[in-house]
Amino acid sequence: MSPAHLVPLPLIACAAILFVGGVFLLLQAVERREKLRLRINNALTSGPEGTVEPHQSKAHLLDLLAKFGASLARSGILSDTTRSQLQQTVNQAGLRGSRVFGIFVGSKVLLMLGLPAATYVFLNGQNYSTSTFYLILGAAFAAGMLFPDFFIKQLRGKHLKSLERGLPDALDMMVICAQAGLGLENAIERVAQEFAFANRAVSLELSICSSEMRIGTDRRTALMALGDRTGLEQMRRLAGTMIQTMQFGTPLSQALRVLAAEMRQDNLTKFEEKAARLPVFLTIPMICFILPCVFIVVGGPAGLQIVKTLGH
């Protein structure tokens, strides 16, 4: 390839960013439509006229992608450590099931191979130098490999923020259930049901914990898994509090009420810390945009007067 007139590297970067952004928006739209479909199915009565047909082609493509990723994970290409780390990453984002893990692995491999292939087709026939050509291919390979991790990281942050926001309210409801005479398992299950639409993240974690208790898992093990599943400090504190109430016989409602108050105070402290950092963040915009305007307004008339005087 001779280094003649070439497509600029920023143009390739913009095209890759647009491609990645389009995939991200498409996945967000699919997620919203799936949530809406589930809510409609729950609201409608059973019967032929009350069912909503899923998108067969989309589900078929996702099934193929999940099978492809699962077969890759079982083929031995990925080590046990890497597979467990990827599974933990998916679980911490609030995504459960082997199908989701297969979709994640499959999309990661397809983007890692497909984006460089699309870039190669796009650059084919262009007069790039060899070093620039392979540099662009390497950047496309890295983008395809890192984009699923970036997407999962965004989902994980959203999931953890949703947990932090909804956990104090869930504890208040759990206090009400405990004061009404419900046991620990029944209280967790009830709160999970009530929070199904109010806060999906809290409902999901509590539902998993309730299912583990119901199928015969030791209560202590199930509660410890509740704290370790997301790695969130508030969930670990909740699990530790419940374990202590079972171990020492302390009132559950009183312990949960104190824990909910502490979590709300922690959230308020975080908001205050963010508010305290605002003046630091506003310093650079103020220096760049506000102070020049102030100097112009204050010193402008004097400067014009000096120019007039010197002109005469």
**Per residue in 59-82, pLDDT tens?**
667 677 777 777 776 776 777 777
- The span from the CA of 89 to the CA of 101, in Å, is 9
Q: Which of 137, 157, 177 is the last residue of a domain?
A: 157
| Lookup result for tokens 């963010």 | 274
Torsion over CA: 135, 137, 140, 144 (sign): negative
pLDDT band per the 50, 70, 90 thresholds, residue 205: confident
Judge whether 311 lies within some domain. Answer: no
What pLDDT sits at residue 88?
76
Asked if residue 93 and residue 24 are part of one domain, the reply reads yes
Summarised one tens digit per residue, pLDDT across range 83-142 is 777 777 777 777 776 677 777 777 877 888 888 888 888 877 777 777 887 888 888 888
**Does residue 169 have a pLDDT over 50?**
yes
**Nearest 5 degrees, angle CA 210-CA 216-CA 232?**
40
Residue 277 belongs to some domain of the structure: no
* Residues near 184 by beta carbon (within 8 Å), at least 6 away in sequence: 178, 213, 219, 242, 246, 252
Q: What is the pLDDT of residue 11?
A: 58
Confidence of residue 45 (pLDDT cuts 50, 70, 90): very low
For residues 215 and 75, membership in a common domain is answered with no
Lowest mean pLDDT among 33-42, 237-246, 281-290: 33-42
**Same domain, residue pair 118 and 209:** no
In a domain? residue 199: yes
Are 14 and 130 in the same domain?
Answer: yes
Q: Which of 48-52, 67-71, 254-258 has the highest mean pLDDT?
A: 254-258
Among 248, 267, 286, the domain boundary falls at 267
Per-residue pLDDT at 56: 52
Same domain assignment for residues 228 and 261 = yes
pLDDT of residue 90: 79
Half-sphere exposure of 106 (CA within 13 A, CB side): 17
pLDDT over 70 (residue 10): no
Residue 70 lies in a domain: yes
The answer to whether position 304 is within a domain reads: no
DSSP codes, 156-202: HHHHHHHHHHHHHHHHHHHHHHHHTT--HHHHHHHHHHHTTTT-HHH
Asked if residue 285 is part of any domain, the answer here is: no
Residue 308 inside a domain? The answer is no
Tell whether 81 and 206 lie within a shared domain. Answer: no
Confidence of residue 2 (pLDDT cuts 50, 70, 90): very low
Residues 66 and 114 reside in one and the same domain: yes
DSSP-based three-state secondary structure for 79: coil
In a shared domain, residues 228 and 136: no
For the chain, what is the domain count?
2
For range 209-237, the mean pLDDT: 82
Judge if 24 and 144 occupy the same domain.
yes
Identify the pLDDT of residue 83. 74
Looking at the fold, whether 151 and 167 belong to one and the same domain comes out as no
Instruction: Specify the pTM.
Output: 0.62
* pLDDT at residue 14, rounded to an integer: 63
Residue 143 lies inside a defined structural domain of this protein = yes
Residues 169, 251 share a domain: yes
Lookup result for tokens 């599974």 = 87
Domain that includes residue 261, residue range: 163-267
Pair 226, 238: CB distance under 8 Å: yes
* Tokens matching residue 267: 């959230």
| CA-to-CA dists, residue 222 to 213, 226, 227, 248, 281, angstroms | 6, 6, 9, 18, 43
Q: Is residue 81 located within the same domain as residue 132?
A: yes
Which domain-ending residue is among 157, 184, 212?
A: 157
Percent of the chain with pLDDT over 70: 77
User: Which spans in the chain are helix H?
Assistant: 9-43, 56-74, 80-92, 98-123, 130-179, 184-194, 200-214, 219-228, 233-248, 252-285, 291-311
**pLDDT > 50? residue 199:** yes
